[in-house]
Amino acid sequence: MPPESAPFLPSSLDDVQRHYLLTELLRGVSRSFYLTLRVLPSQLREPISVAYLLARAADTISDTEVVAVEKRCDALRQYRNQLATDEPSQAGLERLQMGFVGRLDHAAEKALLAKLPALFELLLRQTGPDKGLIRKVVLTLIEGMVSDLEGFPSSAEVAEKITALRDSEQLERYTYLVAGCVGEFWTEISMAHINALQAWESADDRYSRLGIRFGQALQMTNILRDVPRDLQIGRCYLPQSWLNEADLRPDALINVANSVAARPLLTKGIVIALDHYAAAEQYVAALPRRCLRLRLAALWPLLIGLKTLALLSQQEDWLEVRRVCKVERGWIYRMMLLSCGAVLSNTLLRWWCAHLRRAILLA
């Protein structure tokens, strides 16, 4: 192994390797998000894909439960240090690979970490502005991952303790760190590459703030959908202050029989998510109609998010861990087909969103 001080040595990434990273590997680790990435304007696909792959690699490190929490936190800090410099250490990247690749069962995740040097070379090949935006968003996401690992119990403690976030302010901060920053990045990278968005640059940070709230809407939806599964690993993202109002403890949410008693928590979360989705609707409507691909890429997660909230709100036993609230693939394909015609009309898009909102039960 080269000494720790050895600089990163580019591997002369060729077109074949680059194509593999941005297509096959990306498809293997991004699941449904790959469809959104493919519909993006060509000038945005590579920088956003590079950011996604780097963030996904960090997320893989964070989620590898067979490795002790302390070692995962240390590895994320090492990853952060490598990411923050234009001269990453070859030895540092190899150490990250050695510590995790052999512990992974998922073939695509294993391939992702095995390709870390190539991913870093791909990052270094981006333009200076793009490289700065990619680093900013991935470093922010890593901050959220570390806070998760440090703030919640380790696997060994789960049976004894379930930890909740403190209050609404901490929830707001968390949703920014793990998703709102992505909406911010998406907006800034789009403004840097799409000439039709030049007018956005004179609006101060209005559209970046809408982008942040777009990301927070999607994350609130994920939090509400995943409550039962997160409880199994000792995490409760519903704040303790909300639980106090309902006279419930975090461990009470494990019992599916408490779904009715805990319904006010679900309703409160849905109301917050809907408020963020209102900002997301403004965001999509503000995209110029000639930016067809960009509008589609933003519209799809908006509609899927609202549909997910509707399905979740209709479940009486929403705390049942064996029930997975998931939008059917057929609905998604129909939505994508219909959106190709509706995307050019803000009137139709607002009607569509209003229709989905009406299916959300708040009582």
Closest residue by Cα to residue 56 from 12, 16, 22, 8: 22
Q: What is the DSSP letter of 7?
A: B
Q: Which two tokens stand for residue 65?
A: 């439960």
Q: Which residues, in sequence order, are CB contacts of 344 under 8 Å at separation 6+?
A: 289, 292, 295
**Measured between alpha carbons, how far is 190 from 294 in angstroms, rounded to an integer?**
9
Give Cα 118 to chain centroid, integer Å: 23
Residue by residue, what is the 3-state secondary structure of 44-95?
Answer: HHHHHHHHHHHHHHHHHHHHCCCCCHHHHHHHHHHHHHHHCCCCCEHHHHHH
Exposure class string for 209-224: b at 16+ Cβ within 10 A, else e:
bbbbbbbbbbbbbbbb
Q: Which two tokens stand for residue 303?
A: 């509609």
Domains and CATH numbers, the chain: 14-126 (no CATH), 152-363 (1.10.600.10)
DSSP letter for each residue of 234-295: TEE-S-HHHHHHTT--GGGGGSGGGTTTTHHHHHHHHHHHHHHHHHHHHHHHHS-TT-HHHH
Closest residue by Cα to residue 56 from 33, 74, 39: 33
- The pTM for the full model equals 0.93
**Measured between alpha carbons, how far is 84 from 128 in angstroms, rounded to an integer?**
13
**Measured between alpha carbons, how far is 196 from 190 in angstroms, rounded to an integer?**
10
* Long-range CB pairs of 139-142, under 8 A, 24+ apart, other chains included: 139/80, 139/83, 139/84, 140/177, 140/181, 141/55, 141/58, 141/59, 141/177, 141/178, 141/181, 141/182, 142/58, 142/76, 142/79, 142/80, 142/83
Sequential pLDDT tens for the chain (363 residues): 344 455 555 556 888 999 999 999 999 998 778 888 989 999 999 999 999 999 999 999 999 888 999 999 999 999 999 999 988 888 889 888 888 988 888 899 999 999 999 999 999 999 999 999 999 999 999 999 999 999 997 765 665 689 999 999 999 999 999 999 999 999 999 999 999 998 898 877 999 999 999 999 999 999 999 999 999 999 999 999 999 999 999 999 999 999 999 999 999 999 999 999 999 999 999 999 999 999 999 999 999 999 999 999 999 999 999 988 999 999 999 999 999 999 999 999 999 999 999 999 997
Cross-strand partners of 14: none
